[in-house]
Amino acid sequence: MSLWYRMDPETKLCSPCEMMESQLGDVDLVRVGRDEVYSLEHGFVGVSTVFLCLDHSFGWPGVPHVPLLFETMVFVIEEDGEWNMLELDMYRCSTYEQAVVQHRKVCHALVAQLRMVNGEGGE
């Protein structure tokens, strides 16, 4: 079982590799999505989805191994535009396709929640 993975830039398929072969640090390749979602009352929040390069399933004993290679996180965006690293929420999945869907779902759910908080009703 490999800990490190690389993603083919064309097919988006992930395969095991050695650490030095992974795309660790290649920001353009590892970013799946990055969106800013605005809430009038509570400021800005951001949703970021990335390819982790490192399997984050950590091989729990007795559980079939499914690598968790993508991560979607929700952040507070400060007034100066910096994304606060104290994440509000986090989700992980295994494939690029799942990551794209996961990113969209988190963005849509966040917008609906912020509309409700602001008294605009949800979708």
- The DSSP result for 2-59, as a single string, is -SEEEE-TTT--EEEE-GGGS-TT-HHHHEEEEEEEEETTTEEEEEEEEE-SB--S--
Number of compact structural domains in the chain = 1
Domain membership flag for residue 91: yes
User: What is the pLDDT of the chain when averaged over all its residues?
Assistant: 80
Domain membership flag for residue 38: yes
Instruction: Give the rounded percent of residues in the chain with a pLDDT score beyond 90.
Output: 24
Domain membership flag for residue 122: no
Span 103-122, average pLDDT: 78
State the pLDDT at residue 81: 72
Domain assignment of residue 82, given as a range: 4-117
Strand partners, 91: 72
Tokens of residue 113, six digits: 């929640």
State the pLDDT at residue 42: 53
Binning pLDDT at 50, 70 and 90, where does residue 36 land? low
